[in-house]
Amino acid sequence: METFKVKYANKKGLTEAVFSGQLVISNIEKITKDVRNNLKTDKSLHLVVKDVDSMDLTFIQLIISLVNSCEKSGNEVSTSIDVPHEIKLLLTNAGFSALVTENK
């Protein structure tokens, strides 16, 4: 049984990807494969992270990669990361404060 979820929705030229669960190194290969098979960065992208049990740097690297790919394609990208205060503080102190603000 997977300990993470990724859901996709297409809405009027916008693709939304919602990530939840254990977003950690032990799952990152499966998460990345799922994203490669299901997500296209050829249109605007909204990345949502919520209901997080745990998260590590490997997942943050994936998010940054998705943001960069979308921007290089000339498409808009936004993020909405709703994580517990402890994870938000850790991300901010590690230099990723831009990711934890609403609608980057």
Q: Which residues of 54-92 are buried (b: 16+ CB within 10 A; e: fewer)?
A: bbbebbbebbeebbebbeeeebebbbbbebeeebbebbe
List the domain range (segments joined by +) for residue 95: 4-100
The pLDDT, as a whole number, for residue 1 is: 76
Which CATH number characterizes residue 48's domain?
3.30.750.24
Q: Is the dihedral of CA 94, 98, 101, 104 positive or negative?
A: negative
Enter the pTM of the model. 0.89
Q: How many domains does the chain have?
A: 1
Q: What is the pLDDT of residues 1-60, one digit of tens each?
A: 789 999 999 888 899 999 999 999 999 999 999 999 998 767 899 999 999 999 998 999
| 3-state DSSP assignment of residue 64 | helix
| 3-state DSSP assignment of residue 95 | coil
d(CA 59, CA 57): 5
Going by C-alpha positions, the residue among 77, 74, 102, 71 that lies closest to residue 88 is 102
Do residues 80 and 98 touch, judged by C-beta distance below 8 A?
no
Going by C-alpha positions, the residue among 51, 58, 49 that lies closest to residue 26 is 58
The pLDDT, as a whole number, for residue 52 is: 94
